[in-house]
């Protein structure tokens, strides 16, 4: 299964070193209000059986963003870095993928990317982890005739062998 990329904790810390202020944007491009709080930095472990019967374990570093009505609040990059350092020591955080919780109509879970100036919450999707066991066909990309003619069947990397 292909997962959409989300940054690692080490990448977030490196990005914070480049910033003075911290800004988050939602997948639609709108800004999380500047007076947000990071109310939690945690480690979330998930131990489960997928629909195909395979036991799986997953661990992410979790951030919870919350917006109150204290409009003068601003979280600096340095302050967020110190919160992360405390969490790393207390929770023994690994360099894992980051998941961000943010309040919309309900609590939404997002991936995280950095575009060089601000953090972008990325949409996450559910998926079947055992498609082959569930009878779900995974469609292979269709090639055009010209693409097929460009590939040599003698080349082991051509994908036709």
Its pTM stands at 0.77
**Per the domain annotation, does 2 fall within a domain?**
no
Assigned domain for 36 exists = yes
Structurally, the chain folds into a number of domains equal to: 1
Assess if residue 4 is contained within a domain.
Answer: no
* pLDDT, tens digit, 9 for 90 and up, residues 38-83: 999 999 999 999 999 999 999 999 999 999 889 988 999 999 999 9
Question: The domain containing residue 67 runs over which residues?
Answer: 9-158
- Tell whether 84 is covered by a domain: yes
In a domain, 1, yes or no: no
State pLDDT tens for residues 121-160. Answer: 999 988 888 888 888 877 766 666 665 555 555 556 655 5
Is residue 63 a part of any domain in this protein? Answer: yes
Parallel, antiparallel, or unpaired for β 55-67 and 98-103? parallel
């Amino acid at each position: 299964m292909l997962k959409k990329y989300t940054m690692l904790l080490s990448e977030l810390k490196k990005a914070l070193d480049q910033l003075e202020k911290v800004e988050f944007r939602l997948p639609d491009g709108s800004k999380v209000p500047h007076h947000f709080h990071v109310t939690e930095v945690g480690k979330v472990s998930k131990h489960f059986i997928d629909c195909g019967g395979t036991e799986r374990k997953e661990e992410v570093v979790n951030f919870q963003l919350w917006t109150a009505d204290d409009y003068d609040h601003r979280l600096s990059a340095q302050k967020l870095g110190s919160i992360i350092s405390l969490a790393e020591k207390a929770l023994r955080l690994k360099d894992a993928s980051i998941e961000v919780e943010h309040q919309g109509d309900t609590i939404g879970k997002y991936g995280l990317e950095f575009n060089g100036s601000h953090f972008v919450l990325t949409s996450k999707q559910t998926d079947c982890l055992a498609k082959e066991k569930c009878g779900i066909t995974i469609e292979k990309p269709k090639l055009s005739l010209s693409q097929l003619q460009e590939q040599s069947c003698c080349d082991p990397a051509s994908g036709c062998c």
